[in-house]
């Protein structure tokens, strides 16, 4: 049985994965803080993505560009004029809705994403859609709402100092295309990857950490020769899906949602979302877009600098085409918890909560548990010092061993080591597996090797 959102939110708060943001002051709606386990899981997600898409790639390189960018960036990219969501208010209860979402929920056969305001208004007027919050049908006209967060730089509070928090990490990559090309001596095709925070003033944030105004993206901009983009689009679709499968998300909980030609953004000639079956149904996890040469062309025109690539074999110049796989870290976090959470009924009737998450993602790889504190703690602490140089370890010497195992299971620790008299006398340790609860006996050198082997990605 799949976990409900209510259970998951409760679980995440209870075990220190995710807390309400600014909780001490009554919270700030739709902001979340990541606790000791949450930050480690998030870091592990990002590290595995980086390993797969940068470290193991012979052609991709990394970047960390600034969140605050020259505002001309957003003029050129089209975000200032076009990064809008259609908004409608219920006059009766004042609830605010995204029109495309209202229409999608009303009639799945209509695809409202990307339609013009006029067309959306026609659909609303010709339908019987009611406010999902109060059931009344009395709406304001549709308006466009720009999702960019505005702030100002420096001491002067006038509009000449307006700047924006980036709504995607991608533009930082496009602005550095030439710098990276020159310094890394890469040749097309190659990619630039970046992980970082993005900000969107979403109209309807919600579903826990699924849609927030501050979130993290793992983005790759892959530059290729015009005409080859469909091959690379398919290549990165497959590679992205494979990454999720390798994290133990089953294929039947994932699907590709290919955008119909009339739904494509103006800069894209193909887009597909990988959707995951969240608690409320399939929804977007990872957007993969073929962005043509739109971004480089825009920045070339607005900056007056050539961003063309010179092919060293043919001496021909061209603006590369771009494939962009863009993954939301929090959405993958949510998918992984949803997928891994289980409540198992044991032979004795007890319920065991267990997070069967991929060992490489587990916040702690191993728990170190001295059987009797007085007798075994000293050796357990020495083992902690040794093992924590290699993997993340937790240490727990309080309560009965069964209860300590349960806590390890509940937070997804794949292995637990018990230190007992045999450890003192013979140097052997009992290693217990989270998923099967089976136990094996190993010596200290074997422990390190075993745990590293079974927590690798």
Map residue 226 onto helix, strand or coil: coil
Nearer Cβ to ligand ATP (171/430) = 171
For residue 212, state whether it binds ligand ATP (rule: CB under 6 A): yes
Nearer Cβ to ligand ATP (257/386) = 257
Cβ 328 to ligand ATP shortest distance, Å: 2
For residue 326, state whether it binds ligand ATP (rule: CB under 6 A): yes
Burial 355-367 (b: 16+ CB within 10 A, else e): bbbbbbbbbbbbb
Closest CA to 365 of 407, 413, 417: 413
Site track 264-293 with ligand ATP (rule: CB under 6 A), x = hit: --------------------xxxx------
Give the residues across from 416 on adjacent strands. 367, 432
Contact window for ligand ATP (CB under 6 A) among 137-145, 210-218, 429-437, 448-456: 210-218
Map residue 193 onto helix, strand or coil: strand
Q: Which two tokens stand for residue 158?
A: 């006038």
Cβ 10 to ligand ATP shortest distance, Å: 21
Cβ 202 to ligand ATP shortest distance, Å: 5
* C-alpha dihedral, 93 to 115 to 117 to 141, nearest 10°: -20
Among 328, 359, 363, 412, binds ligand ATP (CB under 6 A): 328
Cβ 244 to ligand ATP shortest distance, Å: 12
**Segments in 307-400 forming alpha helices (H):** 329-340, 373-387
For residue 211, state whether it binds ligand ATP (rule: CB under 6 A): yes
CA 225 to mean position of chain CA atoms: 29
DSSP string, 249-291: --GGGEEEEEPPGGGS-TT-SEEEEEEEEETTEEEEEEEEEEE
Nearer Cβ to ligand ATP (89/202) = 202
Among 221, 275, 330, 339, binds ligand ATP (CB under 6 A): 330
For residue 49, state whether it binds ligand ATP (rule: CB under 6 A): no
Nearer Cβ to ligand ATP (237/331) = 331
For residue 194, state whether it binds ligand ATP (rule: CB under 6 A): no
For residue 11, state whether it binds ligand ATP (rule: CB under 6 A): no
Rounded CA-CA distance 307/318 in Å is 9
Binding-site size, ligand ATP (CB under 6 A): 15
Tally Cβ neighbours within 10 Å of residue 142: 20
What distance, in Å, lies between the first and last C-alpha atoms of the chain? 27
Map residue 17 onto helix, strand or coil: coil
Cβ 38 to ligand ATP shortest distance, Å: 15
Nearer Cβ to ligand ATP (202/308) = 202
Map residue 231 onto helix, strand or coil: helix
Nearer Cβ to ligand ATP (280/421) = 280
Q: Is 292 left (phi over 0), alpha (psi -120 to 50) or beta?
A: left
Q: Which residues contact 243 (CB under 8 A, 6 or more apart)?
A: 48, 49, 52, 53
For residue 86, state whether it binds ligand ATP (rule: CB under 6 A): no
Phi, psi (deg, nearest 5) at residue 54:
-120, -65
Cis check for the bond before 357: say yes or no (omega within 30 of 0): no
For residue 215, state whether it binds ligand ATP (rule: CB under 6 A): yes
Q: Which two tokens stand for residue 208?
A: 């826990």
Contact window for ligand ATP (CB under 6 A) among 1-9, 10-18, 220-228, 322-330: 322-330
Cβ 219 to ligand ATP shortest distance, Å: 8
Closest CA to 43 of 17, 62, 63, 20: 17
For residue 208, state whether it binds ligand ATP (rule: CB under 6 A): no
For residue 225, state whether it binds ligand ATP (rule: CB under 6 A): no
Site track 342-381 with ligand ATP (rule: CB under 6 A), x = hit: ----------------------------------------
Phi, psi (deg, nearest 5) at residue 271:
-145, 140
Cβ 100 to ligand ATP shortest distance, Å: 9
> What DSSP state is assigned to residue 114?
T
Cβ 24 to ligand ATP shortest distance, Å: 24
Which single residue brings its beta carbon nearest to ligand ATP? 328
For residue 42, state whether it binds ligand ATP (rule: CB under 6 A): no
Nearer Cβ to ligand ATP (255/446) = 255
For residue 38, state whether it binds ligand ATP (rule: CB under 6 A): no
Q: Is 335 exposed, middle or buried (0-12, 13-18, 19+ CB in 10 A)?
A: buried
Cβ 313 to ligand ATP shortest distance, Å: 34
Among 166, 237, 259, 331, binds ligand ATP (CB under 6 A): 331
Q: Which stretches of the chain bind ligand ATP, using CB under 6 A?
A: 200, 202, 211-212, 215, 217, 284-287, 326-328, 330-331
């Amino acid at each position: 049985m799949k976990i409900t959102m209510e259970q998951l939110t409760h679980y995440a708060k209870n075990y220190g994965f995710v807390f309400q943001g600014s909780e001490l002051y009554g919270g700030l709606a739709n902001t979340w803080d990541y606790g000791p386990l949450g930050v480690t899981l998030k870091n592990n997600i990002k590290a595995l993505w980086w390993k797969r898409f940068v470290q193991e790639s012979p052609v991709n390189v990394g970047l960390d560009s600034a969140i605050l960018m020259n505002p001309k960036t957003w003029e050129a990219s089209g975000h200032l004029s076009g990064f809008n969501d259609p908004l409608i208010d219920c006059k009766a209860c004042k609830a605010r809705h995204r029109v495309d979402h209202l229409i999608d929920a009303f009639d799945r056969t209509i695809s409202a994403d990307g339609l013009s305001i006029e067309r959306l208004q026609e659909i609303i007027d010709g339908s019987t859609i009611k406010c999902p919050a109060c059931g009344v049908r009395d709406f304001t006209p549709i308006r466009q709402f720009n999702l960019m967060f505005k702030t100002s730089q420096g001491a002067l509070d006038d509009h000449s100092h307006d700047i924006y928090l980036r709504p995607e990490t991608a533009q930082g990559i496009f602005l550095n295309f030439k710098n990276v090309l020159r310094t890394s001596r890469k040749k097309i095709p190659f990619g630039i990857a970046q992980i970082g925070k993005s900000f969107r003033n979403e109209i309807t944030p919600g579903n826990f950490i699924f849609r927030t105004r501050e979130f993290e993206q793992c983005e790759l901009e892959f530059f290729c020769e015009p005409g080859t983009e469909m091959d690379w689009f398919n290549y990165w679709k497959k590679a992205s899906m494979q990454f999720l499968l390798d994290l133990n998300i089953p294929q039947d909980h994932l699907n590709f949602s290919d955008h119909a030609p009339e739904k494509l953004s103006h800069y894209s000639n193909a887009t597909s979302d990988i959707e995951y079956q969240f608690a409320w149904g399939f929804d977007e996890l990872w957007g993969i877009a073929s962005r043509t040469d739109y971004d480089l062309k825009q920045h070339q025109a607005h900056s007056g600098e050539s961003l063309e690539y010179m092919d060293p074999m043919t001496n021909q110049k061209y603006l590369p085409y771009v494939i962009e796989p863009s993954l939301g870290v929090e959405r993958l976090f949510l998918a992984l918890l949803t997928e891994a959470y289980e409540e198992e009924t044991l032979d004795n009737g007890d319920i065991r909560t267990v997070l069967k998450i991929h060992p490489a993602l587990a916040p702690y790889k191993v728990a170190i548990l001295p059987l009797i504190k007085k007798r075994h703690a000293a050796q357990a602490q020495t083992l902690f010092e040794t093992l924590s140089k290699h993997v993340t370890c937790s240490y727990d010497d309080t309560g009965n061993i069964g209860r300590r195992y349960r806590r390890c299971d509940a937070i997804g620790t794949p292995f637990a080591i018990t230190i007992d008299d045999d450890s003192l006398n013979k140097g052997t340790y009992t290693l217990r597996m989270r998923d099967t609860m089976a136990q094996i006996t190993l010596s200290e050198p074997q422990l390190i090797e075993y745990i590293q082997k079974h927590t690798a990605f």
